[in-house]
């Protein structure tokens, strides 16, 4: 089944805050530089690559010298606005080292929900890929809120990456996280938890293994990634969940090696 990964052309890579920000709150420049190298290398080989990147608030906290995330929405949005420019500046510097042009695309949920704006963002992403640029997509955290019937948030970047993959009909979503893949239980607390190599459908048993939406392990973690995987299944795509500590793992995934967990029913 992993052989199918060697035939992909259009790839979305999602990288989480844990891969971009060190425990001390500073940007992980080594990881960002390695990510730029890997994605540029893939682009040079003829792949069409889109990056969905978290890290705006983390970058904003570093820029302002803050050690903790503020509690008010307004302050979080302000810090995200500061951090997004800092994050893209860092990406631009690192990609420039490898002569690769990038473009920033900020999205909110209503863009996807309205047909005209949905068509526009699809056209934009497709045109950028045709120009051999790497679009860097993030949620527009400075304006995105969940408010009554005006829902503008995607929920998290796991969902955003799956939605972007569907919008551009990507062959593969590579989701880089701080865990090696999807386990039968929480490997941090369950020594008997085993890693799934391949998952072909999202079952109630898998949802339970993820800890459920309300659990500490599931919220924003495995439950979110299962939800993203279901979105991928819905349009007959493929997804690999793997550890993003070393972004060069992307090469192994594209080569069809047994790393992470493959979500595929091909």
Q: How far apart are CA 142 and CA 150, in angstroms?
A: 15
Going across the sheet that includes 10-15, the strands are 102-107, 134-139, 48-53, 10-15, 172-177, 238-243, 261-263, 198-199
Residue 222 assigned to a binding site: yes
Q: Nearest 5°: phi and psi at 104?
A: -95, 135
Residue 157 assigned to a binding site: yes
> Checking DSSP bridges between strand 150-151 and strand 146-147, what pairing results, if any?
antiparallel
Residue 92 assigned to a binding site: no
Residue 4 assigned to a binding site: no
Neighbours of 117 (CB within 10 A): 14
pLDDT digits (tens, 9 = 90+) for 206-244: 888 776 443 333 334 788 899 999 999 999 999 999 999
Residue entry with tokens 């659990």: 215
| Secondary structure of the chain in HEC code, one letter for each residue | CHHHHHHCCEEEEEECHHHHECCCCCECHHHHHHHHHHHHHHHHCCCEEEEEECCHHHHHHHHHCCCCCCCCHHHHHHHHHHHHHHHHHHHHHHHHCCCCCEEEEEECHHHHHCHHHHHHHHHHHHHHHHCCCEEEEEECCCCCCEECCEECCCCCHHHHHHHHHHHCCCCEEEEEECCCCCECCCCCCCCCCCECCEECCCCHHHHHHCCCCCCCCHHHHHHHHHHHHHHHHHCCCEEEEEECCCCCHHHHHHCCCCCCEEECCC
- By the 8 A CB rule, do 51 and 136 touch? yes
Residue 55 assigned to a binding site: no
Q: How far apart are CA 260 and CA 174, in angstroms?
A: 10
107 beta partners: 139
Residue 177 assigned to a binding site: yes
Domain limits of the chain? Answer: 2-263
Among 94, 98, 95, 32, which Cα is nearest to 59's?
Answer: 32
Residue 14 assigned to a binding site: yes
Is the whole model's pTM more than 0.75, yes or no? yes
Residue 54 assigned to a binding site: yes
Per-residue b/e over 228-247, b at no fewer than 16 CB within 10 Å? bbebbbeeebbbbbbbbebb
Residue 227 assigned to a binding site: no
pLDDT digits (tens, 9 = 90+) for 161-186: 999 999 999 999 999 998 899 988 87
Residue 1 assigned to a binding site: no
Pick the CATH number of 2-263 from 3.40.1160.10, 3.40.640.10, 1.10.8.60, 3.40.50.12280: 3.40.1160.10
Per-residue pLDDT of the chain (266 residues; tens, 9 = 90+): 688 788 899 999 999 888 898 888 888 999 999 999 999 999 999 999 999 998 888 889 889 988 888 888 888 889 989 999 999 999 999 999 999 999 999 998 888 888 899 999 999 999 999 999 999 999 887 776 554 344 556 668 899 999 999 999 999 999 999 889 998 887 778 888 899 999 999 988 888 877 644 333 333 478 889 999 999 999 999 999 999 999 999 999 999 999 999 999 87
Q: How far apart are CA 238 and CA 266, in angstroms?
A: 8
């Amino acid at each position: 089944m992993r052989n199918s990964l060697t035939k992909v052309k259009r790839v979305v890579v999602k990288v989480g805050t844990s891969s971009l920000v060190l425990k001390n709150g500073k940007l992980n420049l080594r990881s960002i530089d390695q990510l730029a190298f890997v994605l540029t290398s893939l682009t040079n080989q003829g792949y069409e690559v889109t990056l969905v990147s978290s890290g705006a608030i983390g970058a904003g906290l570093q820029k302002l010298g803050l050690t903790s995330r503020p509690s008010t929405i307004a302050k979080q949005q302000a810090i995200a606005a500061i951090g997004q420019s800092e994050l893209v500046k860092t990406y631009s510097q690192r990609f420039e080292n490898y002569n690769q042009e990038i473009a920033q695309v900020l999205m909110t949920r209503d863009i996807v929900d309205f047909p005209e704006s949905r068509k526009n963002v699809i056209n934009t992403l497709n045109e950028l890929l045709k120009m051999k640029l790497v679009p860097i997509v993030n949620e527009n955290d400075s304006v995105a809120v969940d408010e009554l019937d005006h829902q503008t948030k995607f929920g998290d970047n796991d969902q955003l990456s799956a939605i972007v993959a569907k919008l551009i009909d990507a062959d593969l979503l590579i989701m880089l996280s701080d865990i090696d893949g999807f386990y039968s239980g929480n490997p941090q607390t369950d020594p008997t938890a085993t890693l799934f190599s391949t998952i072909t459908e999202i079952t109630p048993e898998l949802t339970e293994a993820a800890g459920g939406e309300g659990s500490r392990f599931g919220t924003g973690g495995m439950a979110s990634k299962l939800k993203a995987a279901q979105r991928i299944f819905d349009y007959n795509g493929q997804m690999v969940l793997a550890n993003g500590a070393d972004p060069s793992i992307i090469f192994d995934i594209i080569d069809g090696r047994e790393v992470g967990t493959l979500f595929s029913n091909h």
